[in-house]
Amino acid sequence: MSGQHTAYLGLGANQGNRLANLLQAQQYMRARMTIEKTSSYYQTEPMGYEDQPKFLNMVCRVTTELGPEDLLHFLKRIERRMGRWPSFRNAPRTIDIDILLYDDLILESEELTIPHPRMHERAFVLVPLSEMEPGLVHPVLDRSVETLLGGLRHWGVAKQCMRPRPTHDVQQEKPRVPVCLSRVGVTSLQRNVRFGNGEGSELFQASLDLFADLNSDQAGVHMSRFSVATEELVHNLTRVPTPDIESLAGNLSRQILKDQGAVRSEVHITARSPLGKITPVSGKFTEELYNLIGIASSTAERTRCIIGVTVEGMTVCPCAQEMVRSNSRDILLKEGFTEEQAERALNAIPIASHNQRGLGTLLIGSDVRVRAESLVHIIEASMSSETYAILKRPDEFFVVNKAHRNPRFVEDVVREMLRLLVDTFPDLPDDTFVLARQENLESIHKHNAFAERFGLMCDIRRELAGEGVNPIRPISMDEWLKS
């Protein structure tokens, strides 16, 4: 037999920690099958040999590639691994796993009978099975599980509530330290998210930070329930594709606002995204990963969204390059070159300097849609050189040469990003929020170098046009999101 088969398995335990045994058995089973559905857990009176502790029973539906005999042997090995050794029929056990049904198979061999020869007379099998699939038909008796159960006189089974029931709600209690909190949240929640539309969607690995600002009557309590509610919300909203990262951030923030009765909510999503590129000289295809960023903030009145990217590139230090150049000039003069010859030589060849991996970030808050890929290209073009995941020798030379002909400080990169942004998107409205940031992982220092500019598009445009600086302090991202 090959392919996938559907089987129903009955599990029982009446020794040791019964629930732990049933859960452990399922964990072992997953190595060779997918557990598609499980019933509740039932406390059941022992049948057959009655002088023994009560059982905990459950059934599950699985799919497996194992044939019936191999499945039986696999299950028996799990039973042995869990400390069950052959004993008398119906004896107490740490775990018992029976094959109840296997596709529509009817089989009777020396070691295996399918359907299980006693399943139709056992309430500890039929009750959980009918909870899961009442209409399932016994292929030999040609009756549904529900009908078979109706024919049993004594059941002796009781559904178990496995959830702990706390006597009081700790999260609603007055805190021991009487200080109000401003906001609560969940950070670094890792999820796979889908972006796309009806025609197709792509899977991205994402990290989410979610916050709710508390109003005065909530501010005194803990709100740690937030994390449970939020995990569920994120699970539900990320199962289906969303058109883009800002829509997902917006949907999440609106829902948190509603669910938590918060004054304001804020969601930050970072997703690792691929972008295809061709290497500059060898023409090889490479896939670069960059961080796609979606931020949303919701109040009862409005939702503000920001989209952006963080991209890696390379910068060369202009300051060190100037020192090397001046030193090289002195050497050339000492060697007998004239001032003019030395200058010509220095202009003709690249000059050494230290260089670093730079992280450039551009964030845009606007109702006008900006493609993330466009921002990636703007950031890359603002550094000394873009970098590539794959570099053949000629590409490596190209990147080093380009970077050394194009030295830039972090401040230069930020200014260049803004110049290119304004030039590339002349239609972005004046009230668009912009943040440009460069962080260099310095190679000759132990610290990073950092520069940032945030504010409104109208002010940046005015400055770029040489029309002066707005005397009012530029609006920060936090202020813009809250405005």
Ligand X SMILES: Nc1ncnc2c1ncn2[C@@H]1O[C@H](COP(=O)(O)OP(=O)(O)OP(=O)(O)O)[C@@H](O)[C@H]1O
Active-site residue list: 84, 93, 96, 98
CB of 90 to ligand X, least distance (A): 5
CB of 255 to ligand X, least distance (A): 47
Pairwise CA distance, residues 363 & 312, whole Å: 15
- Structure tokens belonging to residue 327: 């030193």
106-125 residues in contact with ligand X (CB under 6 A) are 111-114, 116, 118
Pairwise CA distance, residues 269 & 274, whole Å: 16
Helices 18-29 and 68-81, axial angle in degrees (round to 10): 140
- Structure tokens belonging to residue 148: 């078979």
Pairwise CA distance, residues 42 & 10, whole Å: 12
Name the residue nearer to ligand X (CB basis): 79 or 312. 79
**Terminal-to-terminal C-alpha distance of the chain:** 65
CB of 263 to ligand X, least distance (A): 59
- Say if residues 191 and 208 touch (Cβ distance below 8 Å): yes
Residue closest to 244 by CA, chosen among 209, 205, 197, 200: 197
- Say if residues 429 and 443 touch (Cβ distance below 8 Å): no
99-158 residues in contact with ligand PH2 (CB under 6 A) are 124
Residue closest to 460 by CA, chosen among 410, 418, 412, 417: 418
From 8, 13, 42, 96, residue interacting with ligand X (rule: CB under 6 A): 96
Cα distances (Å, whole numbers) of residue 174 to 114, 170, 186, 222: 59, 9, 22, 9
From 23, 45, 67, 318, residue interacting with ligand PH2 (rule: CB under 6 A): 45
Q: Is 35 in the site for ligand PH2 (CB under 6 A)?
A: no
Contacted entry of ligand PH2, ligand X, none for residue 113, CB cut-off 5 to 8 Å set by kind: ligand X
- Say if residues 193 and 206 touch (Cβ distance below 8 Å): yes
Pairwise CA distance, residues 268 & 271, whole Å: 10
Binding residue count for ligand PH2, defined by CB under 6 A = 11
Name the residue nearer to ligand X (CB basis): 114 or 460. 114
Q: Is 98 in the site for ligand X (CB under 6 A)?
A: yes
CB of 481 to ligand PH2, least distance (A): 58
Using the contact rule CB under 6 A, the part of the chain among 38-46, 312-320, 362-370, 390-398 near ligand PH2 is: 38-46
From 19, 47, 189, 219, residue interacting with ligand PH2 (rule: CB under 6 A): 47
Q: Is 99 in the site for ligand X (CB under 6 A)?
A: yes
Using the contact rule CB under 6 A, the part of the chain among 42-50, 70-78, 242-250, 459-467 near ligand PH2 is: 42-50
CB of 248 to ligand PH2, least distance (A): 46
One-letter amino acid at 243 equals P
From 9, 21, 96, 184, residue interacting with ligand PH2 (rule: CB under 6 A): 96
- Structure tokens belonging to residue 237: 């909203």
Q: Is 57 in the site for ligand PH2 (CB under 6 A)?
A: yes
Residues that bind ligand X in the complex, under the rule CB under 6 A: 72, 89-90, 96, 98-99, 111-114, 116, 118
